[in-house]
C-alpha cells in the first residue's frame, strides 16, 4: 500500500533535518563567512558565500546514529594574480585565516582535497570550498591534491535540480532524502556518494512519463517506486560502471567518486531494494505493508500521532536555504 501519511511522518519526524539544526547551519556558516571576510590577509578577496551540496539542494537528512551532518558552501574569492599557477594556495590561505581567528584556531580544522573543514563538537562540520571566477571566464574550484582547477557550474546544477524536482511535483527531493536515509539506516550501498545518488535519481526523471501517465509522480511512495524501478532498469543494463556527467553541463564527470566495486555493490543493492519497495507498495494488507516498509525504513515509518495536524505535513519538504539567493552543486 502507498500509505502516504506514514511517509509524511517518516520524513517529518525522522528523515528531514530539523528546523533547529538548519538554523544552526545558517548561523554557523554566517559566522565563518564574516570571520573570513574580516581577515586582514584574505578578507579583501572574499566576495560571497554560496550554499552547496545537500544543504543547498534541500536533500540534506538528519544524521543516523553518531554520523555528522554538515554544511558545504562555496567561498567566492577574487582571482589573485600572485597565486597564478598554484590553485591550492586558495585552500592554504583560507586554512591560515582560520588559524589567525581567535575562536576558530581553537577548533579542529583541516585541509581536504577541495575544501577546508571546520569541525564542531556536536557532530557537525562546515566545509569551505574556495570558488573562483577566473579572468578567462571559467568558474572553478580547487583540487589541492593535484594543485589544479576543476570546472564547476553551481547555478547550472541548481537549475537542473529545480527542473527535475518540478516535474515530480517536489517529490524527487523527498525520494533522494529517503534513499540517503535508507543507505545510512541500513548501511546499504555504503560508498556511494550523495552527488552520485542525486544525479542518478535526477536523471531518471522524465516529463514524457507524465504525459503517458499523469500520476507517475503523484505522491512520495509512487515517486519512490517509479524512480527506483527506473534506476534499477538503468543499472541492470550497465554491468560496468557508466560515466556520470555533471548535469549542469560543466563538462566534468563524477566518475572519480566511486570504483567498479562500489558501483557493482550499489547496482546489486538497488536491485534488492527495488523488489522490497515493490512488495511493500503493492501489498493489499495494511499491517503487512507497514511491516514491509518498516523493514526498509525502520520504526519511524508509522501512522501519525492523533494530535498531529495535517497542516504539519507540508514540512516533508526541507525548508529552502536562506543564507543567500544562490545555490551550489550537490555533493
pLDDT, one tens digit per residue, over 239-271 is 999 999 999 988 999 999 999 999 999 999 999
pLDDT, one tens digit per residue, over 54-73 is 988 999 999 888 788 888 99
Distance separating alpha carbons of residues 330 and 71, to the nearest angstrom: 11
What residues does 143 pair with on adjacent strands? 148
* Residue in this structure with the C-alpha cell 579583501, named with its chain if needed: 44
pLDDT of residue 56: 87
pLDDT of residue 70: 85
The CA-atom distances, in angstroms, between 210 and each of 84, 95, 163, 171, 206 are 49, 48, 14, 13, 7
Mean pLDDT of 115-140: 94
146: cell is 593535484
pLDDT of residue 307: 57
Say which range, 20-24, 28-32, 37-41, 213-217, has the weakest mean pLDDT: 20-24
Instruction: Please count the other Cβ atoms lying within 10 Å of the Cβ belonging to residue 120.
Output: 14
pTM for this entry: 0.90
Amino acid at each position: 500500500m502507498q500509505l502516504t501519511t506514514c511517509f509524511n511522518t517518516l520524513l517529518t519526524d525522522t528523515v528531514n533535518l530539523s528546523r533547529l539544526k538548519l538554523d544552526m547551519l545558517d548561523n554557523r556558516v554566517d559566522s565563518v563567512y564574516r570571520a573570513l571576510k574580516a581577515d586582514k590577509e584574505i578578507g579583501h578577496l572574499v566576495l560571497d558565500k554560496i550554499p552547496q551540496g545537500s544543504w543547498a539542494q534541500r536533500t540534506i537528512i538528519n544524521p543516523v546514529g553518531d554520523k555528522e551532518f554538515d554544511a558545504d558552501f562555496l567561498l567566492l574569492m577574487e582571482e589573485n594574480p600572485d597565486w597564478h599557477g598554484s590553485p591550492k594556495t586558495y585552500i592554504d590561505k583560507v586554512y591560515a585565516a582560520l588559524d589567525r581567528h581567535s575562536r576558530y584556531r581553537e577548533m579542529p580544522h583541516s585541509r581536504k582535497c577541495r575544501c577546508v573543514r571546520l569541525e564542531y563538537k556536536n557532530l557537525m562540520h562546515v566545509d569551505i570550498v574556495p570558488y573562483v571566477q577566473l579572468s578567462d571566464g571559467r568558474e572553478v574550484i580547487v583540487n589541492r591534491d593535484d594543485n589544479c582547477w576543476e570546472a564547476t557550474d553551481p547555478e547550472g546544477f541548481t537549475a537542473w535540480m529545480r527542473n527535475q524536482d518540478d516535474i515530480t511535483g517536489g517529490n524527487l527531493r523527498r525520494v533522494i532524502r529517503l534513499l540517503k536515509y535508507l543507505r545510512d539506516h541500513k548501511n546499504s550501498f555504503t560508498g556511494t556518494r550523495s552527488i552520485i545518488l542525486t544525479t542518478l535519481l535526477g536523471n531518471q526523471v522524465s516529463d514524457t512519463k507524465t504525459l503517458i501517465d499523469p500520476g507517475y509522480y503523484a505522491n512520495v511512495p509512487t515517486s519512490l517506486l517509479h524512480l527506483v524501478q527506473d534506476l534499477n532498469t538503468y543499472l541492470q543494463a550497465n554491468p560496468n560502471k557508466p560515466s556520470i556527467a555533471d548535469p549542469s553541463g560543466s563538462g566534468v564527470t563524477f566518475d572519480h567518486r566511486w570504483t567498479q566495486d562500489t558501483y557493482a555493490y550499489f547496482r546489486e543493492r538497488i536491485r534488492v531494494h527495488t523488489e522490497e519497495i515493490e512488495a511493500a507498495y503493492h501489498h493489499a494488507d495494511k499491517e503487512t505493508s507497514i511491516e514491509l516498509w518498516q523493514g526498509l525504513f525502520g520504526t519511524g515509518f508509522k501512522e501519525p500521532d492523533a494530535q498531529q495536524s495535517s497542516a504539519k505535513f507540508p514540512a516533508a519538504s526541507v525548508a529552502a536555504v536562506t543564507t543567500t539567493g544562490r545555490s551550489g552543486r550537490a555533493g
